[in-house]
Chain A
Amino acid sequence: MSAVPVNRNSGPAAEGATGDLASADETAIAADIRNRTHRRKTLLWTARLATLVIIVGGWQLLANAKIIDPFFWGKPSGIVTQLKNWVQNGTAYGSIWLQIWTTFKEAVLGFVIGVLAGVIVGVLLGQVRFLAEVASPYIKIANAIPRIVLGSLFTVALGLGIASKVSLASVLVFFVVFFNAFQGVREVDRNLLANARVLGASRLAVTRHVVLPSALTWIIASLHVAFGMAIIGAIVGEFLGAQKGLGLVIATAQNNFNPNGVFAAMFIIAVLALTAEGLIALLERRLMSWRPPSQTEAAAA
């Protein structure tokens, strides 16, 4: 794609090159580029819609023709019916909104606790070399353990309530965020550190003004994965034992040989995750506004 004329504006803004020499010729070229971008966007969305229609429609057709057995694999129309049913009549454990709210609450709490702990420990170990060296083998071991199994422990120790799910979610989140924060702190530009120290920064000031903002790029990148982890933690926790929540709804559907129920719950979870992802992206844009726009963003603008 020819991004050359767009590049001209995204270069060093120093010269203030807004094209004050824009002749009629250049306006025509600009209009042409706008048109082309517009056409490309339309094509893109058409193709995306077509993909959806083919997958969902194909599934429905194949299920109707019994090529895919709907008893095991469900079918789109059945999933929609199941969703409607939940909204109208609720689940076996109360309204569907209560189930969604429960899972969401567990995931968000676990996410927040895990992120805070991950950032604090990561920044601390990243800055204090000795601590990092002491902790390093244990962190490796802890990372090698399949942490999802901790869910069993938490369920037994903390009961069927929200605490066991939040604990599992935060443990899963912690490791993702921790590793990124740790790495981010270690990657801080030596020059920036030396510069801040020469300018008279105390250790705290160095952390606040140099280390944290610098590591933030890494930390934010980890949040996308981390929220997925939080949801997994909450769902698995509910699977292992709960009184309400989407995980319990899925487990019940499984026991009743109801694949449509599993898919319907999956769909709800995906909506939840996408919403959270959108919020994180928004946060990212706010915090990272200083970053130069990447080539693709500049071209899309």
Chain B
Amino acid sequence: MAQPTKEETVANTFAKRRRAVHGTRESGAAAVRPAQIELTGVTKRFVTPSGTMFTALRDVDMTIGAGKFCAVVGPSGCGKSTTLTMVAGLERPSAGTVQVGGQSVDGIAAGTGFMFQSDALMPWKTVLGNVALGPVFRNVPKKEAQAQAREWVRRVGLAGFEDHHPHQLSGGMRKRVSLAAALINNPSILLMDEPFGALDVQTKAMMSNELLALWEQARPSVIFVTHDLEEAIALADQVVVMTAGPGTVKAVYDIDLPRPRGAVQEIRFAPRFLELHHQIWASLREEVESAYTRTATVASAEGGRS
């Protein structure tokens, strides 16, 4: 290609700009190098369509060590998801800084994996096509991207379903596809926003086991947002409890259950698990109750908006 077409030039410019901003982390995309995530004094305000100010997060300080699994719990609407979008670079904090691997986040960085609460799969692409999106977007040649995708589809236990479309899969299987799609780029940080929230209890437990197994292979740093405290303790090294909105960090608990943890269904009955659960729930409960009374009052006044 002596003379690049106009389209290619534009694409290159975008790629270059991304590389310029996130230079060091892009080069580390091939080999996983877990990065420390650090939020300092982060505040996020939104302006509602009617023009009023709404504070979602206030003065959040949080540090997730490189390669650690951190679960964030808190009542609904306390800004857990907002925290994730800021770490991912999808949103910017109104005040304070977010750093990943010692670099301040300004824009979407390479090396970030994100799993959304609802399915973020392209319904018009097959399982393989969806999983291959990461490499395709990073301009990996099509053949190689497909080979990588095939390998990841196999790793999440979906071999044989490569050519199915998302609507042909069950909820749990779609989550596996999402997981493969998020992990294929070998992210150094993995952000998960209540990824298994919509699943039934059994499928959720299976998916948690699978997530742990995959995570232990590559060990990216994880922020896992959930409102299921049991899930949080079973999975994480560290549980962060957030206050009712505007959210801020209330307490951080280290989970000293040994790894590998094995089946999450069984660890729930370990004495240490129950002890931790008891302790953290005491803290979380106040927030849940305060959030509940607030929304209940609002609901009775406004006529029901959660």
B43 on interface, CB distance cutoff 8 Å: no
Chain B residues whose CB sits within 8 angstroms of the CB of A195 once the complex forms:
114, 116, 120, 181
Does A204 contact B168, Cβ atoms closer than 8 Å? no
A90 on interface, CB distance cutoff 8 Å: no
- Choose one: A13, A199, A213, A292; the contact of B137 (CB below 8 Å): A199
Does B11 contact A204, Cβ atoms closer than 8 Å? yes
- Choose one: B90, B138, B170; the contact of A200 (CB below 8 Å): B138
Chain A residues whose CB sits within 8 angstroms of the CB of B124 once the complex forms:
213-214, 216, 290
How many positions in chain B have a CB within 8 Å of any CB in the partner chain?
37
Given A191-B116, A191-B120, A205-B137, answer yes or no on A200-B168 (Cβ-Cβ < 8 Å).
no
Does A202 contact B108, Cβ atoms closer than 8 Å? no
Tell me the chain A residues, 37-63 only, with Cβ under 8 Å from chain B.
none
- Choose one: B14, B168, B185; the contact of A203 (CB below 8 Å): B14
Interchain CA distance A290-B124 in the complex, whole Å:
5
Does A13 contact B164, Cβ atoms closer than 8 Å? yes
- Nearest CB of A to B233, in Å: 27
A198 on interface, CB distance cutoff 8 Å: yes
- Nearest CB of A to B286, in Å: 32
A210 on interface, CB distance cutoff 8 Å: yes
- Nearest CB of B to A141, in Å: 26
Given A213-B124, A290-B165, A292-B167, answer yes or no on A200-B7 (Cβ-Cβ < 8 Å).
no
Does A14 contact B122, Cβ atoms closer than 8 Å? no
Tell me the chain B residues, 1-34 only, with Cβ under 8 Å from chain A.
7, 10-11, 14-15, 18
- Choose one: A13, A192, A205, A291; the contact of B122 (CB below 8 Å): A192
Chain B residues whose CB sits within 8 angstroms of the CB of A192 once the complex forms:
120, 122
Tell me the chain B residues, 111-144 only, with Cβ under 8 Å from chain A.
112-114, 116, 118-120, 122-125, 133-134, 136-138
Does A200 contact B137, Cβ atoms closer than 8 Å? yes
Interchain CA distance A170-B9 in the complex, whole Å:
32
Does A202 contact B170, Cβ atoms closer than 8 Å? no
Closest-by-CB residue of B relative to A10 is: B168
Given A200-B110, A200-B138, answer yes or no on A209-B133 (Cβ-Cβ < 8 Å).
yes
Does A202 contact B11, Cβ atoms closer than 8 Å? yes
Interchain CA distance A205-B165 in the complex, whole Å:
21
Interchain CA distance A270-B109 in the complex, whole Å:
56
B88 on interface, CB distance cutoff 8 Å: yes
Does B123 contact A290, Cβ atoms closer than 8 Å? yes
Q: Mark A171-207, 1 if CB is under 8 A from B, else 0.
A: 0000000000000000001011011111111111100
Interchain CA distance A191-B120 in the complex, whole Å:
6
A: interface residue count bin:
20 to 34
- Nearest CB of B to A17, in Å: 12
A12 on interface, CB distance cutoff 8 Å: yes
Does A196 contact B137, Cβ atoms closer than 8 Å? yes
Interchain CA distance A195-B90 in the complex, whole Å:
10
Does A194 contact B185, Cβ atoms closer than 8 Å? no
Does B137 contact A202, Cβ atoms closer than 8 Å? yes
- Choose one: B7, B116, B125; the contact of A204 (CB below 8 Å): B7
Chain A residues whose CB sits within 8 angstroms of the CB of B169 once the complex forms:
12, 14
Interchain CA distance A301-B120 in the complex, whole Å:
30
B173 on interface, CB distance cutoff 8 Å: yes
Does A202 contact B14, Cβ atoms closer than 8 Å? yes
Q: Mark B49-88, 1 if CB is under 8 A from A, else 0.
A: 0000000000000000000000000000000000001001
- Choose one: A12, A196, A198, A209; the contact of B168 (CB below 8 Å): A12
Q: Which of B114, B122, B136 has the most CB of A within 10 A?
A: B122
* CB pairs A–B below 8 angstroms (30 shown): A14-B161, A191-B116, A191-B119, A191-B120, A194-B85, A194-B114, A194-B116, A195-B181, A197-B108, A198-B88, A198-B108, A199-B134, A199-B137, A199-B181, A199-B185, A200-B137, A201-B133, A201-B137, A202-B18, A204-B7, A205-B136, A205-B137, A209-B122, A209-B137, A210-B122, A213-B122, A214-B124, A290-B165, A291-B167, A292-B165
Report which A residues bind B (CB closer than 8 A). 12-14, 189, 191-192, 194-205, 209-210, 213-214, 216, 290-292
Report which B residues bind A (CB closer than 8 A). 7, 10-11, 14-15, 18, 85, 88, 90, 108, 110, 112-114, 116, 118-120, 122-125, 133-134, 136-138, 161, 164-165, 167-170, 173, 181, 185
